Each structure stands twice: as C-alpha cells, then as structure tokens.
Structure 1
Amino acid sequence: MPVIVQDLKGKVKNAYRVSLPSLVVSLIIGFFGGTFLGTYLDKINRDYPGLLVILPGMMGLRGNVFSSMASRFSTMLYLGDLEPSLRDKKVLKNIAIAMLLSLIPVTILWAIGVLRGIRYHALEILLVVVSSTILVSFILGYFTAFVTIFAFKKEIDPDSIASPLVASMGDLLTIPALIAFILLLERSKEIFWGSNLVLIVLLLFLIGISRVRKAELLELRELFTIITALALLSLISGFTLQRFSGLIQASIILGFAYPSILSSFGNYGSIIAAKTSTALHLGEIDGYFSREPFLEIVSLFLTTPIIGLLINAFGILIAYLILGVEPRVIYELVLSYPFMALFIMLYSYTISYFLFQKNIDPDNVAIPLISNNSDIFGTIYVILIAKLIVGG
C-alpha cells in the first residue's frame, strides 16, 4: 500500500506540475475561440446555418488529426524513428498528409448538410470551410511538431502536454478563421476568391515538395477511414448544436464556454489515450487492470474540480466584458464536470487498451475516436446543463 500511495503522490505531482498548466492554457485558448462563437452565434445561425452542422466536426477533426499526429510523433521520438528537429523531412510530410486528411471529411460533412436541405449560402460555406481548413491545418501542423519536439528536448513527456495544447490551438484557430473568412466574403468577394486560390496553391506546393506518395497515404488509410467515419458521426453533434443553439445561447455562459468544455473533455481523454498508447508500445502495461494507468486516471481526476471552476469563472468574466451581464455560477456544471471527465478518461483507457489487443494502433484510432466521442458526449452534456439553467 505505501508503494501505491508513493506512486500516486508522484503522479499527482506530475499532473499538477505538467498536465494542469497545459489544461489551463488550453482552457484559456479555448475561451478565446468561444468568445468569437458566443459573439457571432446568432449571425451564423441566421445567415450561415450550415456551418453549425459542420462546426463540431471541424473542431473535432482538428483534435482527431493533429492530436493523433502529436501522439505518433511522441511514439516515434521515443523509438528513435524521428529526429527531434522541425527540419526532419518526416515532419513536413506528416503535415502535408494531415492537411489532406483534414480536407476530405469536412467536404463530406458539407455535402451531407446540403443533402439534408441546408442550402442557404451553400457554395460560400464550402469555400469558407476549405480555405479555413487549409490555413488552420498548416499553422496547426507546425505547432504540433514544435510542441512535441520541444517537450521531448526538455525531457517533458509530450503525451502529457501535446494533446491538450494542440486540440485547444485548433479551437483557437478554427472559429476565428471561419468568422474571418465570412467577414471577408461579405466585405470583398474578389479578395475572398483570391485567398482561396492562394491557399489551394499552397496545399499543392507542400504536397509536391514533401513528396507524399500513394504508398504513404495507404499506410494511414486506417486513420483516414476512422476520421472520415467519425466526421460523419459528428453530425450528431452538428445537428444537435443547430437544433439547440438558441438554448445554449440563452444560458449565456455556455455559449462562450461550449468550445472549452468540449476541448477539455477531449484533452483529458487524449492525455490518457496518448499515455496508454506509449506505455503499450513500450510494453509497460501487462493487463487491463494494471496499476499504472488507473493511477494516471486518479491523478488527473484530482485536477478536474479546478478546471470546472475555471470554466465558470472565465465564462462569467467574458459574459460581463462582452455583454455587460453578470450571470450566476453554474453549480450544476461545477458539481458534475469532474465525474463527466472521469467517465471520459475511463472510456479512453478502455478503448485504447482493447484496440491495442486487436493489433490496431491507438495512435491512429483511439485518439480520433475519443476526441470525436468527447464532442458528442460534451454537446449532450452542455445541452443538459443548459436545460437545467434555462428550463425547457
């Protein structure tokens, strides 16, 4: 027992020293994107309703593709398959592939939205989605590589910090980029079309110089298949968000906090998935009920009350600064948030473990699956909390 207590103390110390700061930074970044969403939610719902169907999928896709890439880089660094340098050719190649992997699913989401009858400004929405995806994927790709390699060089476990920072940076960039292209479209169609052309040329240029080959794309067909399937699954979140956007907006805080809540759940799940994947590849887990992964979950669970309180605090502050209102603390969220995060971490570990037992690499499947499922669970969770606050 003393050995277990000592191990737990060490992991709790690491969770507070390494993971918690990255989760807090991630939360702050997420609220920046949430400020844009809360401010423009009514406009998007009125003028570009199709974006609400695509938005959860786009946000999840960033986490799916780039958190997976971060986990893959981490495993490659530990195994010596990747030089800890941004100049390694594998870095650019992985970024170019990730950009391609990001484009196809969001285009499919747009097409399904059109088929479901959401055709108002359909072409404009497609161009906004394509342009923002290329731009955000390029920036996020290098950010992912930098964070992972920098942490590795500083002898900090990349699995503890990369996924939260990458997913939240995706949230930070995704919503403002979408809104920026919408405002550009409304202000100058010529510049909007020109920017689309420049970004498509950039994508083709990167694919060319990185020499991405068909065989390399086929190696990631498992990842491509799962993120496309999960993008389709994200339509549950998308149509749910579209239907209940008014309820979420009426709850005030949740309109601003929505991206942060989703990303924080995804972050907790991704940290556990990344740690589990690395430990499994290194042979450090010998059974489902191994002690180490559950100690990791408990140590991270002890940080969740802080994140729940900060979500409330940041939401109240932003609502006051943007809208001039003083909403109450959402005690329903404060009390339930830690247990929702615990459920997602246990779910994450279980999925990662059993996928590995089936000879499926968790880096390619578990993290995308968990990120997507966290968005669905998180969207339902936010709506339930909104119903408790607003009623209906």
Structure 2
Amino acid sequence: MAVTVQGFKERVKHAYRVSLPSLITSLVIGFFGGTFLGKYLDMIRRDYPGLLVILPGMMGLRGNVFGSMASRFSTMLYLGDLEPSLREKKVLKHIVIAMMLSLIPVTILWAIGIVSGIKYHAPEILLIVIGSTILVSLILGYFTGFVTIFAFRREVDPDSMAAPLVASMGDLLTVPFLVSFILLLERSRGMFWAGNAAIISLFVFLISVSRVRTSEVLQFKDLFTTVTGLALLSLVSGFTLQRFSGLISASVLLGFAYPSVLSSFGNYGSIMAAKTSTALHLGEIEGYFSRNPFTEMASLFLTAPIVGVLINLFGVAVVYLVSGLKIGLSYPLILSYPFMALFIMLYSYTISYFLFRWNIDPDSVAIPLISNNSDIFGTIYVVLIAKMMVG
C-alpha cells in the first residue's frame, strides 16, 4: 500500500508539474481567441450567422486532426519511427495530409449550413472557411511538431503537454483568423478574393513540395472517415451555439470563456486518451480496471478545481479589460467544472481502451472522437451554466 500511495503522490506531482502548466497556458491562449469571440459575437450573429453553425466543428476539427497528429508523433518518437527534428520529411508530409483532412469536412459543414437555410454571405463564408483552414493548419502543423519534438528531446512526456497546447493553439488561431477574414472582406472585397487565391496557390505548392502520394493519404482513411463523421456530429454543437448564442452573449462571462471551456474539456480528454494509447501500445494496461489509468485520472482530477477557478478569474479580467464591465464569479461553473472534467476523462479512457481492444488505433480515432464529443458536452454545459447565470 505504501508503494501505491507513493506512486500516486508521484503522479500528482507530475500532473501539477507538467500537465497543469500546459493546461493553464492553454487557458491563456484560449482566452485570446475568446476575446475575439466575445467582442465580435453580436456582429457574427447578425451578419454571418452561418459561421456559428460551422465554428464548433472547425474548432473541434483542429483539435481532432492535430491532437491526433501530436499523439501519433509521440508514439512514433517512442518507437523510433520518427527522427526528433522538424526537418524530418515525415513532418511536412503529415502536415500536408492534415491540411487535406481538414478541408473536406469544413466544406461539408458549410454545405449543410447552406442547405439548412443559412444563405447570407454564403460564397464569402466558404472562402473564409477554406482560407483560414489552410493558414491555421500550416501554422498549427509546425507548432504540433515543435511541441512534441521539443518535449521528447527534453525527456518530458509529450502526451502530458502536447495535446492541450495543440488544441488551445487551434482555438487561439481559429476565431481571430475568421474575424480577420471578415474584417478584410468588410474593408475590400478585391483584397479578400486576391488573398484567398494566394492562399489556395500556397496549398497547391505545398502538396507538390511534400511529394505526398495517394497511398500515403489512404493510410489515414480511418482518420478521414472519423473526422468527417465527427464534423457532421459537431453540427449538434453548431446549431446549439447558434440557437443559444444570445443567451451565452447575455451571460457575458461565457461569451468570452466559451473557447477556453471547450478546449479545457478537450484537453483533459486528450491527455487521458494520449496516455492511454501510449500505455496500451507499450503493453502497460492489462485490463479495463487496471490501476494505472485510474490513478492517472485521479491525479489529473486534482488539477481541475484550479483550472475551473482560473477560467472564472481570467474571464472576469478579460471582460473588464475589453468592455469595462465589472462582473462576478460564476459559482455554478466553479463547483461543477471539476466533475465535468472527470466525466470527460472517464469517457476518454473508456473509448480509448475499447477501440484498442477492437484493433482500432486510438491515436487515429479516439482523440478525434473525444475532442468532438467534448465540444458537444461542453457546449451543452455552457448553455446550462449560462441559463443558471441569466435565468
């Protein structure tokens, strides 16, 4: 028992030393994107409502594709299949493939939004989605490679820090880039169309330089099928966000904190999934009720109250700095957040474990599924908390 207690203490120390700093960093990053969402939410609701349907899917897709890539890089590094260098040719190939995997699902989301009756600014929204996806994917791809390789070379477990930082960087980039494209369109339609033409040309050039073969893309057909299906599932979040965007905006705090809340839940799930995947590949988990994953979960759970409080504090500070409004803390959010994070982690572990037992690689399927479902759970959670706050 003494060894078990000591082992648990070591895991808690690791969670506070490695995972918590990355979670807090991701919160700070997420609030940068949240600042743009909170500031321009009313404008988007009024002039570009179709983007609200697509937004959760785009945010989730970035976490799905690049969180999976981070986990895959981590596994490849441990197995010796990837050299720890950004100059490694496999890094660029994976980035280009990730860009390809990202473009089709967001285009499908746009098409469904149009079919559902959201036709205002439809062509412009398509270009906003495509252009921002290419740019964000390029930046996020190299960021994913850097974080994973840097951690590995410093002998820090990439699974403990890469997924949260990658997902939050995706959240940081997604909303500001969308808003930037909107503002560019509002300023000059000519510059908007010319800029998108240049971005698409860059994408074609990268495909040529990376020498990605069709057979290499087909290796990711399971991931492509998964992210496309999950992009469609994300419409639950999208239509929920669109329907209740007024309520979320009225709560003020959650309008700014929405990306951070979603990304933090996705972070907890991704950390648990990445750790579970690596442990399963290394043969360290013998059965579902093995002590190792539940000890890991418990240690991560002890960080959740701190994250929940920080979401509130950061939200209050950002609202004041941006709008000058003085708002109080949301105690329903503070009290319920840790248990919602625990639910996400348990769900993440269960999905990862059984997918592996069914001979499905968790790196390609579990993390995208968990990230997407965390967004759905998180959006519903935010709406419920907003209802408590607004009444």
Please list the CA deviations of residues 184-223 of structure 1 after superposition, one character each: whole Å capped at 9, or x if unmatched.
0110111111111111111111111111111111110000
What corresponds to 2:252 in structure 1? 252
Corresponding residue number in structure 1 for 2:129: 129
Structure-2 residue corresponding to 1:327: 327
SS at match of 2:363: coil
Q: CA deviation at 1:282?
A: 0.7
- Identity %, equivalent residues: 76
Equivalent residue, structure 2, for 1:14: 14
Q: Within 5 Å, give how 1:80-229 maps onto structure 2.
A: 80-229=80-229
Q: What is the Cα deviation at residue 246 of structure 1?
A: 0.4
User: Whole-Å Cα distance in 2 between the matches of residues 157 and 334 of structure 1?
Assistant: 29
Q: Secondary structure at the match of 1:326?
A: coil
- Provide the rounded CA distance (Å) in 2 between the counterparts of 1:322 and 1:215: 49
Post-superposition shift, 1:321? 1.2
Partner of 2:336: 336
DSSP 3-state at the match of 1:280: helix
1:142-174 CA distance string (max 9 Å, x none): 000000000000000000000000000000000
CA deviations on 1:73-132 (whole Å, 9 max, x unpaired) are 000000000000001110000000000101000000000000000000000000000000
For residue 362 of structure 1, what is the amino acid of its counterpart? P
- Distance of 2:345 and 2:122 partners within structure 1: 38
C-alpha separation in 1, matches of 2:389 and 2:304:
21
Q: How many residues align?
A: 391
Cα distance, 1:138 vs structure 2: 0.3
Q: Which amino acid aligns with 2:278?
A: T
Question: Corresponding residue for 1:34?
Answer: 34
User: Is 1:301 paired with 2:301?
Assistant: yes
Structure 2 letter corresponding to 1:102: S
Tell me the residue number matched to 1:364.
364
Which has the larger displacement, 3-12 or 108-117?
A: 3-12
Give 1:294's aligned amino acid.
Answer: F
Deviation at 1:322, TM superposition (A): 1.4
- Structure 2: distance between partners of 1:318 and 1:96: 35
2:275 corresponding residue in structure 1: 275
Q: 1: distance between equivalents of 2:180 and 2:124? A: 13
TM-score by length of 1: 0.99
Amino acid at match of 1:38: G
Taking the aligned partners of 1:347 and 1:17, their CA distance within structure 2 comes to 24
SS, match of residue 364 in structure 2:
coil
Q: What's the CA shift for 1:356?
A: 0.1
Cα deviation per residue 1:208-264 (whole Å; 9 max; x = unaligned)? 111111111111000000000000000000000000000000001000000000000
